[in-house]
A and B are shown apart, each in its own frame.
Chain A
Amino acid sequence: MSNVPSDLKYAKSHEWVRVQGDTATIGITDHAQHELTDVVFVELPAVNRQVQAGEACAVVESVKTASDIYSPVSGQILEINKSVVDNPALVNTEPYSGGWFYKIKLSQPAEAESLMNPDQYKSQIEGH
């Protein structure tokens, strides 16, 4: 059973969002890391890049495939997690803590509100 923390928002494409004021931290869910299997490479967006909600802005590679990661919210990239670039396995072992991807300054904070709550995300991943 995948871990779905209660204090986060979720995108259909399996990213999580932790909103703190006008910034947010983004990563991929426990369910997503489990589906991807052993993560061997993570490519993150450049700091200061402007991204739109739904835009592919990171790539996660497992042994078998490369998968795009879509930004769940719009804004400017403030910081990226260098540790996960150096140690991609963090995505598998700590998807909600050490395995975070980037921090973003929200340009449209309302977007975060329209994301799924934990119960909605749980039913999405259990629904198939």
Chain B
Amino acid sequence: MLKRTPLFEIHQKLGGRLVEFGGWEMPVQYTSIMDEHQVVRKAAGLFDISHMGEVLVSGSGAEEFLNKTLTNDVRKLAIGLGQYTLMCNEQGGVIDDLYAYRLSSEEYLLIINASRIDADVPWLQKQLASYLKKDSVKLENTSDHTAAVALQGPRVSEFINQCFAGSSTGGTSVGSASELKKNQIAQFQFSGQPIWVSKTGYTGEDGFEIVAPSNLITEVWRHIMKIGHQYCLQPAGLGARDTLRTEVCYPLYGHELDEQTTPMEAGLGFFVSFDKGDFVGRAVLAEQKANGVKKKCVAFKMTGKSAPPRPDYLIWSTGPNPVQIGKVVSGTQSPSLSNGIGMGYVKTEFAKAETPIEIEIRGNRAAATIVPKPIYRKPV
């Protein structure tokens, strides 16, 4: 039985097309992926991301415990600040990629992938069980009673303060939500209950993610839709979420990342901190940092007219003696560029930008070029 978010009935009423995603029944689109993608790039879109998991880590040992368990350095987090980070196994393989927010002095919120809740929570518990000061850390999986929405797009800043009035009551101290800077999170009061609003997203657009108790999220959704209506706000599904994130080369667990792939191979070394002491996976990652990796995650664009690339398509080198050099992990037709785009892993010697490659599509090879990330950049 697929799980449903508290917004399920709203998706049905909106005529959303519901599909399975990571064990959840989620809207892939309401009108069309193309439309919703463009609405987010040009105005504003609202996504249900309640399927994502939330874990609270608190106590005097929380900071040290997280620094031993995650790759980034949580000591960099002021109260009310979040960071992208990864959780690795001993081989450096990625168990999950996540956001860690410091809500208060000794309290952290981890936002984890829906499809990885069942892997992450036992892993965190196992790490905690072997942590010397385990009594100083409290780990709480609040996924079942926490919901979230993402409000994304260039026009969101015009109405975010109408959605959540007044000053923050926790996290970053701001007079209004629009004052939040990238990666900052603040608590606001909504219908008499605390909710969290962060300046983050997964689309490459400005926007916010709102984390609230499950029993409040329907009201939050309706409230935002009502205010956003005159700013061309529309609901957007997971289809657009995927094309938006692919254009800006954000990794998606199960595509760019898995337990056999390291952050260094994925091009996420920036989020691995080696000057913070030991952490799970450090030895392998440090070795890869020093000596390089055998395969790298690259972005590419199709150069001629071709079918869009898809996950698992083979990547070939060009020239008189082409060899197989890797595999596509994400691919789609870019709605912003009207061109096939994707990401894939290739042998490191082929990973340089501008390298010509070929993608095997149904037995034929179509020309493509490796391009710098992100594939799509907002016109300035």
Contact bitstring A32-66, B, C-beta under 8 A = 1, else 0: 00000110110100000000000000010111111
Report if A63-B362 is in contact (Cβ < 8 Å); known contacts: A37-B29, A38-B32, A41-B333: no
- Contact between chains at A63 and B335 (CB < 8 Å): yes
Q: Which residues from chain B contact A63 at a C-beta distance below 8 Å?
A: 33-34, 239, 243, 308, 332-333, 335
| Majority secondary structure of chain B interface residues (helix, strand, loop or mixed) | mixed
Question: Which residues of A lie under 8 Å from residue B332 when comparing CB positions?
Answer: 63-64
- What 9 additional pairs, Cβ within 8 angstroms, besides A37-B239, A61-B308, A63-B333? A38-B32, A41-B306, A41-B307, A41-B308, A62-B33, A63-B33, A63-B243, A64-B33, A64-B239
Bound complex: CA A37 to CA B34 (Å): 9
Residues of A within 8 A of B362 (CB): 43, 59
Say yes or no: A66 contacts B32, CB within 8 Å: no
| Bound Cα distance A66, B307 (Å) | 9
CA A65 to CA B242, docked complex, whole Å: 13
**How many B residues face the partner with a CB closer than 8 A?**
16
Q: How distant is the Cα of A38 from the Cα of B28 in the complex, in angstroms?
A: 13
Residues of chain A within 8 A of B243, CB atoms compared: 63
Residues on B with C-beta less than 8 A from A62 are: 33
Instruction: Tell me, yes or no, whether B310 is within 8 Å of chain A by CB.
Output: yes
In the bound complex, do residue B310 and residue A37 qualify as a contact, i.e. CB atoms below 8 Å apart? no
Tell me, rounded to whole Å, the shortest Cβ–Cβ distance linking B76 to chain A: 37
A residues in contact with B34, CB < 8 Å? 38, 63
The A61-85 residues at the B interface (CB cut-off 8 A) are 61-66
A64 touches B307 (CB 8 A): no
Residues from chain A with Cβ under 8 Å of B335 in the complex: 63
Return the chain B residue nearest A56 by Cβ: B362
For the complex formed, measure the closest distance between the CB of A64 and the CB atoms of chain B, giving whole angstroms. Answer: 6
Interface string of B230-256 (1 = CB under 8 A from A): 000000000100110000000000000
CA distance A41 to B29 in the complex (A): 19
Smallest distance from the beta carbon of A31 to chain B beta carbons, Å?
A: 14
With the chains together, A65 CA to B307 CA distance in Å?
Answer: 10
Q: Mark B349-362, 1 if CB is under 8 A from A, else 0.
A: 00000000000001
List B contacts of A61 (CB < 8 A): 307-308, 333
Q: How far does the alpha carbon of A59 sit from the alpha carbon of B362 in the complex, in Å?
A: 10
A66 to B333, CA, bound (A): 11
Residues of chain A within 8 A of B33, CB atoms compared: 37-38, 62-64
Residues of B within 8 A of A41 (CB): 306-308, 333
B residues 311-369 near A (Cβ < 8 Å) are: 332-333, 335, 362
CB distance from A53 to the nearest CB of B (A): 21
Q: List 28 A-B contacts (CB under 8 A).
A: A37-B29, A37-B32, A37-B33, A37-B239, A38-B32, A38-B33, A41-B306, A41-B307, A41-B308, A41-B333, A43-B307, A59-B362, A61-B307, A61-B308, A62-B33, A63-B33, A63-B34, A63-B239, A63-B243, A63-B308, A63-B332, A63-B333, A63-B335, A64-B33, A64-B239, A64-B242, A66-B307, A66-B310
Lowest 8 A-B CB distances belong to which pairs?
Answer: A40-B333, A63-B33, A38-B34, A41-B307, A38-B32, A61-B307, A37-B32, A63-B333
User: A40, B32: Cβ atoms under 8 Å?
Assistant: no
B residues near A43, Cβ cutoff 8 Å: 307, 362
Beyond A40-B308, A41-B333, A59-B362, whether A64 also contacts B28 by CB under 8 A is yes
Measured CB to CB, the closest approach of chain B to A59, in angstroms, equals 7
Considering the complex, give the chain A residue whose CB is closest to the CB of B332: A63
Interfacial chain B residues near A40, Cβ < 8 Å: 308, 333
